[in-house]
Amino acid sequence: MVEAKRRSGRGERRTRTGSKRAALPPAERRQQILNAARDVFAKRGYARTTVDDITAEAGVARGTFYLYFDDKRQAFAELVDRFATQITGVIQRIATDDPTRPVSGQVLDNTRAILRLCLAERSMTKILFTDAVGVDPEFERKLATFYDAVVQLLTESLRDGQALGIVADGEPRVLAYLTLGALKELLYQAVTLGLAEESAEALTQQLYAFLSQGYLRTGPRPGERPRARPKR
């Protein structure tokens, strides 16, 4: 029965004007609906968005939506899960035992990758940092698991850095929370202000400079000459 319903979802559809629209394979139709849901959630927020809003944005019938999702929450959860996976996928643990890869360069690469991704996916960045908060207790646990994974990765890298003397003394987990908090606020403001993806490099350099004046002891950035110490 379910398979029959899904096959029926691939049939020819008509737009509101009555013109025929080419059928899409199920995977493409699902992605089309998810893209529409992403845009509507980013504009209206989770609470104010309805299934009708999503289907209107996607240009599909309400019944087509329910061929792929039980409700708007399922679509919302899939969007957040995918984006969280993308973020954790671009974060690389700092390798402190590779002389060919300066720690400063690795920190810059991680920061740059996160900023580029979030500026390229500004709708999802807004959803993750604002609309995903407070959906329901289960979703709160999902977000907590995601942030815990990021904090754990940062904590392990900071602890390794302290052992090598390239990170200042302090509780690594506290430093990880401070780093994540600064990055989240920077990303939120960048998306709110509508900064372009090209701004990622400038933001990367600014954030690195901020961290270098705090707990990082990695020396000059790649290609940068050490600053001369002022004479006393």
pLDDT tens-place string over residues 78-116: 999 999 999 989 988 777 777 788 878 888 898 899 889
d(C-alpha 213, C-alpha 207), whole Å: 10
Average pLDDT over residues 192-198: 75
Identical fold for domains 2-69 and 73-212, yes or no, is no
Q: What is the dihedral of CA 141, 144, 149, 154, to 10 degrees?
A: -170
User: Could you tell me the pTM of the whole model?
Assistant: 0.76
pLDDT tops 80 at residue 232: no
Average pLDDT over residues 203-210: 89
- For the chain, which residues make up each domain, given as ranges? 2-69, 73-212
Which superfamily is assigned to 73-212 in CATH? Tetracycline Repressor, domain 2 (1.10.357.10)
d(C-alpha 56, C-alpha 58), whole Å: 5
Percentage with pLDDT > 70 across the chain = 84
pLDDT tops 60 at residue 158: yes
pLDDT tops 60 at residue 19: no
The mean pLDDT value of the chain amounts to 82
Q: Which CATH class is domain 2-69?
A: mainly alpha
